[in-house]
Structure 1
């Protein structure tokens, strides 16, 4: 059987093979992320903690607070109402897409929906790794010893590995809460943030942050 015309030259076969390998690797990473997301969604935190650390995301979408972000805050508030945490910590710096400070947008949303408890702000970080690193001294200064890290489900596989590699879990007793935001409920792994996650994992792994 003859090869298709577009696969007859060696460089074409090499290029096609590379693209196919990349697609398969991307799909495999996405499957692992999805599996972990479902596992955390099905196993919410059980132990009380001193604070919920809510990680940032794009602040605004179509002129309104991004539901992918505010849904994370809502999950943190639910932990407070359930008696699992005593305070909220918001971590996220300037959003390059809209110029807003993610931590401030999260605090504003929390106040708008009636949260009046204590809040800590880390308004500088620009990545998940920096969320953890820059939040550490703020949490320590507030006397926090145990933390529930809150983010959307797709994000948690990478967060867990960053926590271990950075030693964040040596400073705090860490649990995880998956925020089933409207973005996740509507699209799952098919919305923009989740689609970018395998690329973020490859980038972090390439810099030695995950393994």
Structure 2
């Protein structure tokens, strides 16, 4: 009696099972991110803060400010106009995808939108962890004691974990603002950044940054 075809090549069965397990884990993390994102969107910051810290992402797309990054800045601008924050801090270094400095691109967008208030730039960070660690001394030197961290909805769960693990929240009173950018409104959890976020979470967790 011949064995079934799938039993003749057990390594293929094992490989398929492993790939399925990875896919299911990835989907589970994505679903969790989505639920946390919706919660943050429903609960914007309530307390006034000294500054909004806007975290960077890709600066330009097709020769124009990337709508995902511009949407983050627009959320910070709305808070400034509403009196929730009094100054803006832009954190992001040179983007390898377009060669532009994210912090400078955000400042340019804010100025073009008519913002004339105080702004600080942190132009060297190349990761979310560095956004926080390099911005901390800049914020402290400016006398900032309370911060609203602004990023896209899918990003903020990992940001919150990094804030706690790094002790950033021991230096500042921290709130979070989920930016409903056009990228998020159009694609939600299927936007490029959201699809990559589970991998970033797995990577950061593997290095002990989140837990």
| Fold match (TM-score > 0.5) | yes
Partner residue, 2:132: 132
Deviation at 1:119, TM superposition (A): 0.2
SS in 2 for 1:155: helix
**Cα offsets for 1:15-67 (capped at 9, x unmatched):** 01100100000001001100000000000000000000000000001111100
Change (3 A) 1:144 1:20: same
SS in 1 for 2:150: strand
Matching residue of 1:92: 92
Q: Cα RMSD (Å) of the superposition?
A: 1.3
Determine the structure 1 residue equivalent to 2:192: 192
Separation in structure 1 between the aligned mates of residue 4 and residue 112 of structure 2, nearest angstrom: 60
- For residues 70-109 of structure 1, what are the structure 2 equivalents within 5 Å? 70-109=70-109
**TM-score of the superposition, structure 2-length normalised?**
0.97
Measured in 1, the distance between the counterparts of 2:86 and 2:154 equals 26
Question: What's the counterpart of residue 43 of structure 2?
Answer: 43
Structure 1 residues 149, 16: CA separation in 2 closer, same or farther (over 3 Å shift)?
same
Q: 1:4, CA displacement in angstroms?
A: 7.4
**Partner Cα distance (2:98, 2:77) in 1:** 25
> Number of paired residues?
210
Deviation digits for residues 48-101 of structure 1, max 9, x if unmatched? 000000000000011111000000000000000111101000000000001000
Using a 3 Å threshold, how does the CA distance of structure 1 residues 107 and 35 change in structure 2: closer, same or farther? same
Q: Counterparts of 1:1-211 in structure 2 under 5 Å?
A: 5=5, 8-211=8-211
* CA displacement at 1:13 relative to structure 2: 1.0
C-alpha distance in 1, partners of 2:39/2:194?
16
- The 1:9–1:40 alpha-carbon spacing in structure 2 relative to 1, beyond 3 Å, is same
Q: Deviations over 1:95-126 (max 9, x none)?
A: 00010000000000000010000001000000
Q: Distance in 1 between matches of 2:96 and 2:110?
A: 22
Give the TM-score normalised by structure 1: 0.97
Measured in 1, the distance between the counterparts of 2:95 and 2:11 equals 41
Q: 2: distance between equivalents of 1:47 and 1:99? A: 36
Deviations, residues 119-162 of structure 1 (Å, cap 9, x unaligned): 01000000000000000000000000000000000000100000
Give the gaps of 5 or more residues in structure 1. Answer: none
Shift of 1:173: 0.3
- Residues of 2 paired with 1:3 and 1:182: CA distance? 54
